[in-house]
Amino acid sequence: MSSISQNRTVTVIGASGVMGSRLCRRLLGAGYTVHTFDSVHRNSTTSSEPLLICHKTLNDAVAPSDVVILAVPYAAELLLAEQLTTQIGHRIVVSITNPLTPTLDDVVTPPGESAAEHLCMLMPEARLVKAFNTLSAAAFDVSPDEGHQFDTFIASDDAEAAHVVEQIITDMGFRPWYVGCLKHSRTLERMSALLIGISQRYELDGALGWHVVQAKL
């Protein structure tokens, strides 16, 4: 674990997206080297950010990192699993997706299933970690210095991989909670739908997120 966590190199697939761009910004802010692949950056030859390296192919983007974050829609995650099966090997793969219905307040996956478990079946060699999915994109725009610390939850059957991601999350300024095995993704993905449902019902705007509170008695 220590060699991976000290590597401080992460690949973000979908770096041009709402979540991908924010993940990159936080990672770069924490001093990580970030390798990316997306349609916007793959044709750029230069970057104003020395630690941001944009690749022309998926395989080139994945090769330098032990940790690969898939910041893409659920359907694209499944496509990527097929495209990356050989290249991904035993890397840590982070699924951030919420397989939401068109109304956004529920998930399309049947009870007892999750997007992360589907991905895991397609990438059996990879060390699958569910994380970041319960954070809204707007939460990334709130500086930790502003007094709000957002929690995010990690589910994985691989405790060592979970701890690597835990460290990355901490470095990015969020508070991680490792909730246990990958099947807890079923709950985590539904937590996002629940939060969106709350925000719709109460017409909340701004950066929404979960926070575990401990009141000392």
Summarize as ranges the residues that interact with ligand NAP (CB under 6 A): 13-14, 16-20, 38-40, 71-74, 76, 79-80, 96-98, 133, 135-137
Least separation in angstroms between residue 1's CB and ligand NAP is 26
Judged by beta carbon, residue 11 or residue 32, the one nearer ligand NAP is: 11
Tell me the C-alpha distance between 180 and 99, whole Å.
Answer: 20
Least separation in angstroms between residue 89's CB and ligand NAP is 19
Coil, strand or helix: which one is 175?
strand
In the DSSP assignment, the letter for residue 80 is H
Judged by beta carbon, residue 78 or residue 159, the one nearer ligand NAP is: 78
Judged by beta carbon, residue 4 or residue 174, the one nearer ligand NAP is: 174
Least separation in angstroms between residue 77's CB and ligand NAP is 7
Contact 97, 72 (CB under 8 A): yes
Least separation in angstroms between residue 84's CB and ligand NAP is 10
Judged by beta carbon, residue 38 or residue 117, the one nearer ligand NAP is: 38
Closest CB to ligand NAP: residue number: 17
Residue 146 CB contacts under 8 Å (≥ 6 apart), including other chains: none
198: enclosing H helix or E strand = helix 185-201
Cross-strand bridge partners of residue 155: 130, 180
Question: Residue 69: exposed, middle, or buried by beta-carbon count in 10 A (0-12, 13-18, 19+)?
Answer: buried
Judged by beta carbon, residue 4 or residue 140, the one nearer ligand NAP is: 140
Measured CA distances, 159 to 43, 57, 92, 135, 156 (Å): 37, 30, 11, 21, 7
Least separation in angstroms between residue 20's CB and ligand NAP is 5
Tell me the C-alpha distance between 63 and 158, whole Å.
Answer: 21
Judged by beta carbon, residue 38 or residue 166, the one nearer ligand NAP is: 38
Least separation in angstroms between residue 75's CB and ligand NAP is 8
Cross-strand bridge partners of residue 93: 68, 128
